[in-house]
Structure 1
Amino acid sequence: EYYENVKYLGLGLLSLGLERGDKVCIIGDNGPQWYWADLASQAVGGVPVGIFTDCIPSEVKYVAENSDSKFAVARDQEQVDKFLSLKGELPNLKRVIYWDSSGLWGYDDPILMNFEEVKDLGRDYEKAHPGIFEQFVAETRASDLAFLAYTSGTTGLPKGALVSQENLLSYARTWFELHPPCDSDDYVSVIAPAWIPEQWYGIAIPLSAGMTVNFAEAPETTQADTREIAPQITAAPPRGWEMTASRIQALIMDAGFFNRLIYNLLLPVGYKVADLHY
């Protein structure tokens, strides 16, 4: 399923005029479609560009304009509206492709297409160009640009960081030195894929190891869904881990005597195990 979606979405982009090196900006919450669009762009010679979901239209414009993106992939009406409001200011933008049609039924702007329409174009393109997808994949080199990530811009205008295929693979190899690859492992995607670490943990490592990438049903259910999935691996920014630790410590303070005793006895053991392992 992963391969089919990536393949036909990528071929659909070729059908729409994507050329090698063209940028494809992607904005939306974590979900399979984000990763399909990311890999589809890479597979046919394009370069995905991550945009954070909370970016306002002026910030979206800056990234799309600075990266000279030819295509945009957006999750839903909220993100699509940002691009439609900027259409006159982004003359190089050819298409805005969306994967959640909620609220978009009445939209008839010709720049818009949904995922299924693009994949249908991809299937037709394959019939006219058999083997073209496999050819593009085979021509990919380690030095090729895999992703363009923009900084948050806290000290000035956001800056684009160039991430090569070798950058991603090198991190995966380093990870496997600590955690040997296991195709039965589960990973829960929590951090934004526009952020470089999620390109490591959500794409490079799972693809190299054959792991399963899981997603929360909604941002507000992340904690409950993670507990249900019980993943071997998850990732978060430092502030996320700090908040989790603070929440656990607050719960322990309100817990009964026996639970506090177990916590205080086993926490030092956990630290020693971590020190031995890492």
Structure 2
Amino acid sequence: MDTTFPRLLLQHAARRPTDAAMREKEFGIWQALTWAGLAQLVEQLAAGLHAAGLSRGEHLVIIGANRPRLYATMLAAQALGAIPVPLYQDAVAAECAFPINNAEVRFAVAEDQEQVDKLLEIRGQCPQLQAIWFDDPRGLRNYSEPGLASLDTLADTGREIAQGNPGLFRAQVEKGSPDDVAAMFFTSGTTGNPKGVVHTHRTLLDRARAGAEFDHLTEREEVLAYLPPAWIGQNIFSYAQWLACGYVVNCPESSGTVMIDLKEIGPTYYFAPPRVFEGLLTTVMIRMEDAGAIKRHMFHACMRLARRVGPALMDHAPVKWIDRLAYRLGDLLVYGPLRNNLGFSRVRVAYTAGEAIGPDLFTFYRSIGINLKQLYGSTETAVFVCLQPDNQVRADTVGVPIRGVEIRVAENGEILVRSPGLLKGYYKNPQATSEVLTGDGWYHTSDAGFMDAQGHLKIIDRVKDVGRIHGGPNDGALFAPKYVENKLKFFPFIKEAVAYGDGRDRVCVMVNIDFDAVGNWAERRNLPYAGYTDLAQKPEVYALVKDCVEKVNADLAADEKLAGSQVNRFLILHKELDADDGELTRTNKVRRGFIGDKYRVLVEALYDGRPEQFIETQVKFEDGRTGVVRATLRIEDARTFPPVKAAA
């Protein structure tokens, strides 16, 4: 059915006015906003923005976390035919300047003082930025910048206008078309400036509905919106599908209370990138290691059973009655309390995407009764391309093409997608648009992969990153850096990895340890340390990471195509890779080329055979100050294994 986001809002408000549309936790108490209340707020904000001069086709920047009034502002802009542009709330001020200037933004809405300060800092670079409205007034009482006002002021103005012209809002909504631009999302910009991905109401709602149909989502779902709204994944789950289905979106009090809020809400539909699931499991394992001997023994015994029969039970496969009985007992003693402790007691469908998830991690969640699945998509495809059907869930694939999606594999192994959810184009960048969209509607994903015999898609790496080893005993061998990095990150002690090897005679890796997991491991062994840099260079920690690297090598040796990608040498970095230092994107993807240039001296040391290397690195702290981290890094050799020959 052809429609727009504001029309869907009005339909929900008319059909179920007193039902909760959103909840927000404030001062420890959940406050509900009904569909009728939300529609009224959107009307007031839309009238206020109209009076301020926001016109059809114009862009409005929104920067902040998930907040009902920021969602309402997006709907208000769309009601006027304007285009909301969410920006990452953790981006530094300088990163906001390009999107604001690129989209010629005159008006911005900020969550709080932190976001207002960023916008004021770059105002000199963005002379067209006329007005900034803020949601949370704390700390802003004495600000007297021109054009700075609260959303309350905007809503009050809009209320007066709406009372004087009650037909204004609906008349503006009716002017909207499904093919109007609904939102613009800026890519993470792994190379160069980010690109504005333009999506219409039709593309976003088509994919939202396709995903909802696939997993039988209804208005009874509960969702916790805790990831950045600027990321299209969060936007699809808590905005597009929210309005398509009419379920309840819950906004946590702060990033620090997400785990508590997760337990209180008990979502039925949940999404998280792999690193969130890794962090949850790491927390569980740390707590179990600190538990008493009896509790620890019971946990490990139940988990051995769960890994053996849990996934089969989840997939409704045949399981012996004695195992079913034992699993029920385990559910009573361990799995049920564990799901409750994680906040997953009511989860019906949980998804992960963005990066590969480790098979052991994936199996853990499914074995304790959580229906965790993988999906495949991107900003340009409005997320939903492939999803995993219930009872066909595997750790090494990303599912099957869903309604409306066609997939083709090019000769170079690149995945091509044709779908009703494809971007309209990159804003003001026709050349980039023509590079990814063919004349007959195929989108170049830049991912390398293939369809397996069961019709599931398997992703190997980025096409541009798949290379070859040059020289040495593995000359000509395939090198897939992301594949190697993800295998290393499957270990709870390794948070990040950066692999090099294309055009070189061997593979070398730089590693970030997980400070919490390794710190707890060190404390249980009475190993003293003074911060991340000191802990990372401990011989015992190197031995721990070396064991992980060699396990990955043994695993790679069993893969005939990737046996040449085994890691020969590695080092542990002296600092954590950070988006503020340019080493990660805002979606926490490694910027491998940037890191290679920044740490060129370390890359050269890895390949020169040096046992150690001094490094001095400038870092940026959260409060904007800069400092320098100095260290002499150890470099270790890792054992490699001969390729395992496939059986004849």
Residue type matched to 2:69 in 1?
Answer: Q
| 1:166-245 equivalences in 2 (<5 Å) | 166-245=202-281
Q: Indicate the residue corresponding to 1:37 in structure 2.
A: 73
User: Relative to structure 1, is the Cα distance of residues 270 and 50 closer, same or farther in structure 2, using a 3 angstrom cutoff?
Assistant: farther
SS in 1 for 2:188: coil
On the 8 A contact 1:149/1:161 being kept in 2, the answer is: yes
Structure whose alpha-carbon radius of gyration is higher: 2
Q: What residue in structure 1 maps to residue 302 of structure 2?
A: 262
Instruction: Report deviation, 1:57.
Output: 1.6
1:28 matched to 2:64: yes
Classify the secondary structure of the residue corresponding to 2:124.
helix
Check the 8 A contact 2:66/2:251 in 1, yes or no: yes
Could you tell me which residue of structure 1 aligns to residue 311 of structure 2?
Answer: 271
- Measured against aligned partners, the alpha-carbon deviations of 1:4-54 in whole angstroms (never above 9, x if no partner) come to 221211111001000001111011122212211211111111111111112
| Alignment CA distance shift 1:269-1:171 (3 Å) | farther
CA displacement 1:90-114 (0-9 Å, x = unmatched): 2222210001111110012231110
Q: How high is the sequence identity, in percent, across the aligned residues?
A: 33
Alignment check: 8 A CA contact 1:77 1:101 kept: yes
Distance of aligned partners of 1:215 and 1:269 in 2 relative to their CA distance in 1, 3 Å threshold: farther
Equivalent of 1:2, from 38, 42, 45? 38
CA drift of 1:269 comes to 4.4
Name the SS for the 1:18 alignment partner: coil
| 8 A contact 2:65–2:226 mirrored in 1 | no
2:45–2:73: 8 Å Cα contact kept in structure 1?
A: yes
The letter for the 2-side match of 1:242 is: E
Structure 1 unaligned spans of 5+: none
**Is the Cα–Cα contact under 8 Å of residues 189 and 235 in structure 1 kept in the other structure?**
no
Structure 1 contact 189–213 (Cα < 8 Å) conserved? yes
Query: Which of 150, 162, 165 is the matching residue for 1:129?
Result: 165
What is the CA-CA distance between 1:169 and the residue it aligns to? 0.9
How far the C-alpha of 1:184 sits from its partner, in A, is 2.1
* Match in the other structure for 1:162: 198
Counterpart residue identity of residue 16, structure 1 = A
Q: Match for residue 77 of structure 1? A: 113
Tell me, in whole angstroms, the C-alpha distance in 2 between the residues paired with 1:88 and 1:193: 26
Question: Could you tell me how far apart the structure 2 residues matched to 1:99 and 1:197 are?
Answer: 23
For residues 50 and 83 of structure 1, the distance between their equivalents in structure 2, rounded to whole angstroms, comes to 14
**1:85: how far off?**
2.1
TM-score of the two chains, using structure 2 as the length reference: 0.41
Which of 123, 133, 137 in structure 2 is aligned with 1:101? 137
Cα pair 1:65 1:90 within 8 Å, conserved: yes
CA contact (8 A) 1:183 1:211 kept: yes
Task: Tell me the equivalent position of 2:124.
Answer: 88
Q: What is the DSSP-based 3-state SS (H/G/I as helix, E as strand, rest coil) of the residue aligned with 1:146? A: strand
- Tell me, in whole angstroms, the C-alpha distance in 1 between the residues paired with 2:147 and 2:84: 19
Residues 179-237 of structure 1 deviation map (CA, whole Å, 9 limit, x = unaligned)? 22322221000211001111210111122222110111110110111011111012222
Q: Distance in 2 between matches of 1:271 and 1:67?
A: 48
| Partner Cα distance (1:260, 1:190) in 2 | 31
* 3-state secondary structure, aligned to 1:89: coil
> What residue number does 1:51 align with?
87
Q: Which gives a bigger RCO, structure 1 or 2 (Cα 8 Å, sep 6+)? A: 1
Question: How far apart, in 2, do the equivalents of 1:260 and 1:34 lie?
Answer: 45
The residue number in structure 2 matching 1:148 is 184
8 Å CA contact 2:93–2:119 kept in 1: the answer is: yes
Q: CA offset at residue 263 of structure 1?
A: 2.7
Contact 2:63/2:115 (<8 A) preserved: yes
Distance 1:270 1:11 in 2: 54
Q: Which is worse superposed, 62-71 or 126-135?
A: 126-135
**For residue 148 of structure 2, what is the aligned residue in structure 1?**
112
CA contact (8 A) 1:71 1:94 kept: yes
**Aligned partners of 2:172 and 2:310: how far apart in 1?**
47
How far apart are the structure 1 equivalents of 2:212 and 2:86? 26
Offset, 1:256? 2.0
Which stretches in structure 2 are left out of the alignment for 5+ residues?
1-36, 315-370, 372-389, 394-648
CA distance in 2, matches of 1:238, 1:164: 29
Deviation at 1:138, TM superposition (A): 1.9
TM-score (norm 1): 0.93
What is the root-mean-square deviation of aligned Cα atoms in Å? Answer: 1.9
Amino acid across the alignment from 2:42: V
Using the alignment, how far apart are the partners of 1:134 and 1:270 within structure 2? 52
- SS of 1:234's partner is strand
User: Structure 2 counterpart of 1:266, which letter?
Assistant: A
Greater shift, 30-39 or 142-151, is seen at: 30-39
1-side partners of 2:94 and 2:141: how far apart? Answer: 26
Alpha-carbon separation, structure 1, partners of 2:310 and 2:175: 46
SS of 2:259's equivalent in the other structure is helix
Deviation readout 1:60-94 (Å, 9 max, x if unpaired): 11111111112100011111111122223322222
Matched, 1:13 2:49: yes
The alignment partner of 1:276 has SS state of coil
Q: Helix, strand or coil: the match of 1:118? A: helix
Residue 495 of structure 2 is matched in structure 1 by none
Look up the match of 2:101.
65
Tell which deviates more after alignment, 204-213 or 246-255.
246-255
The structure with the greater share of residues assigned to helix is 1
Distance 2:273 2:136 in 1: 27
Residue 250 of structure 1: how far off its partner (Å): 4.7
